[in-house]
Amino acid sequence: MMKKENKTKQPWPTKEAMEQVYEKKLWGTNNTDFYSGLGSHHPKIVNPYIEILSSFLTSFKSPLSLCDLGCGDFNVGKELVSYTKKYVAVDIVPALIERNKEKFKEDHLEFHCINIAEADLPSGDCAILRQVLQHLSNAEVERVLTKLIDFKYVILTEHIPEGDFTSNKDIISGQGTRLKKQSGLNLLAAPFNFKVVEVKQLLSVRLPDFKGVIVTTLYRFF
């Protein structure tokens, strides 16, 4: 008797979705092999972010160890490495990480291929996630959040609707963002109910040709 083929879908399809984004250039292209979209390249989005992160990182007497969770093509991260004691950049796409290893080399810089919803995260003082969680289902977001409490600081950037909206509508990982449902992530609201010591908005960027607003928030845990 023949065994039935196991057609159970993988519970976390994010890796395949992100690989397809880069292979098919769904976030656009600037004539490079990997391109992480306008959120990582538009000067009016990138420059204020680099300025505010640089200011934060240099405000400490001793440099912080930083984990960049979802580093993408590293167009932004490369501008922050010099302000850290150690910079660990991770992404879910193997070919992208291999490319970054070849292109960006510093003594205190590491790249790792990690699914942040499934694997243990590197240790560090601060984690940054730039427009990463917005692509994940609520179940995956929940799995990531349980690990972020190991960092003292988390700096989260999310593209959310402008004005009032219903928070945390669920999506299928890798299939767009909550914007299409007029929703966005609010980690302090249900179902996440993220517990933090301090919350501070660092940056809010609105562009005429962009729907919504890109908000960067600092969370402190201890």
Looking at residue 28, its pLDDT comes to 67
SS (H, E, C) 116-129: CCCCCCCCCCEEEE
Burial letters 142-167, b for 16+ CB under 10 A, else e: ebbbeebeebebbbbbbbbbeeebeb
Bridge partners of residue 159, in order along the sequence: 214
Q: Does domain 28-220 sit in CATH 1.10.540.10?
A: no
Q: For the chain, give every domain's residue range.
A: 28-220
Q: How far is CA 118 from CA 56, 133, 142, 194, in A?
A: 29, 14, 11, 19
Contact 71, 77 (CB under 8 A): yes
Per-residue pLDDT of the chain (222 residues), as tens digits, is 433 333 444 444 677 777 776 776 666 677 667 877 778 889 999 999 999 999 999 999 999 999 999 999 999 999 999 999 999 999 999 999 999 999 999 999 999 999 999 999 999 999 999 999 999 999 999 999 999 999 999 999 999 999 999 999 999 987 789 999 999 999 999 999 999 999 999 999 998 878 899 999 999 998
